[in-house]
Structure 1
Amino acid sequence: MSNTALLVMDMQAAMLSSFGAGPAVTAKVATAIASARSKSIPVIYVVVGFRPGAPEISANNKGFSAAKQQFAGIAPADFMKIHPDLEPLENEPVVIKRRVSAFAGSDLEVLLRSLKIEEIVLTGIATSGVVLSTLREAADKDFRIKVLSDACADREQEVHDFLTTRIFNKQGEVLTVAEWTK
């Protein structure tokens, strides 16, 4: 078993459509998933999700309060559905988080430790959201980190570029999907 895991984060159909992330990102993530599976690297999906009515979202949380309004009419199970081009296999875990970081309010760390994972490879949207928050927390938890820059996206390309070229490399390694899959 590999001590590396690929994290596919917030690649939910509802979020991708509201985010405007195009097929280029999902195609890159799909390539990373196929490569991981071919090398027996565990693929772990992370979705943001809440109970009906989202009681976990405080009015004090500016970002999540706005999202609560935006996704109010979507049933929690529908909101958490992963994009059809990226669906997990039956044996691949789906971790539900309650905040921005993949670790926040989830059992991700327990799962990674039980699989003896020491290195995580990050993909997802948004670069300035789940990717940044997860990278920072994973570094504090002593994981080795790789970020697949072209398998991440942000609403603002300049923010994505700044993070992937100036910030992420201070706590991990930044690669393209092609570089990682060689």
Structure 2
Amino acid sequence: MSKPSLLVMDMQNGIVSRFQANPELLLPFQKSVETARRYNIPVIFVRVAFSEGYPEVSPKNKSFSQIAQFGGMTVSDHVTQIHESVQPMNGEPVVTKYRVSAFAGSNLEVILRAKQIDTLILTGIATSGVVLSTLREAADKDFTIKVLSDACIDADPEVHRVLMEKVFPRQADVLTVDDWIGGLDSMTKE
């Protein structure tokens, strides 16, 4: 019997705000969180944020050095807090990472090992960022992986499609939130 956990990655105010013109995009995230809670599957939230003064940011890091230069994205900033559509409940960890992968510089693996989690169910923004990087690292760490395709968003729909159809299936089961729920429902009826 596997022991899964749902990872809700980079669903933070500053990232979700890029997609607020299309609020129905958030519904699969909400549905996956509600379902995990209903089935007592641990939910772990992952965000990217930095300490005051940005000691974690190298000037060689093309993405994050811009943040250090212009400010924002510190652990206390509004933009790094988990979006209200999927607010963590008491006891649900919020992991802070310092790079793209959910594992990079965070305590995620310690939490997963402590809870004896062996299966990760991935959701997040962006498909080509946190989802891709976390999937690759999780596969190298021998986790079983599921990706909820409609609870992942990318600014480039073609990149999202290629990753879901051609890249991710090599290391993960790719399914919709409804298909995942159907599998959970059928397991409880057995």
User: Where on the TM-score scale, by shorter chain, does this alignment land: which range?
Assistant: over 0.9
**Share of identical aligned residues, percent?**
53
Partner of 2:143: 143
Q: Which runs of 5+ in 2 are unaligned?
A: 183-190
Q: Which runs of 5+ in 1 are unaligned?
A: none
TM-score w.r.t. length of structure 2: 0.89
Partner of 2:109: 109
Task: Report the AA paired with residue 75 of structure 2.
Answer: P
> Does the 8 A contact of 1:147 with 1:172 survive in 2?
yes
Task: Report the AA paired with residue 161 of structure 1.
Answer: R
TM superposition shift of 1:130 = 0.3
Report the structure number with the largest CA radius of gyration: 2
**1:39-118 correspondence to structure 2 within 5 Å:** 39-69=39-69, 72-73=71-72, 76-77=75-76, 78-118=78-118
Q: Does 2:12 match 1:12?
A: yes
Q: RMSD of aligned C-alpha atoms? A: 1.8
Aligned length: 181
**Worse overlay, 92-101 or 24-33:** 24-33
Task: Report the AA paired with residue 108 of structure 1.
Answer: L
Take 1:25 and 1:116, find their aligned partners in 2: how far apart are those partners?
Answer: 31
Distance 1:67 1:163, change over 3 A: farther
Take 1:153 and 1:69, find their aligned partners in 2: how far apart are those partners?
Answer: 27
CA offsets 1:60-97 (integer angstroms, 9 cap, x no match): 00011234456x24653123211101100011011111
> Does the 8 A contact of 1:2 with 1:41 survive in 2?
no
Instruction: Give the 4+ runs in structure 1 shifted more than 4 A.
Output: none
Partner of 2:37: 37
Task: Report the AA paired with residue 162 of structure 2.
Answer: F
Distance 1:130 1:91, change over 3 A: same
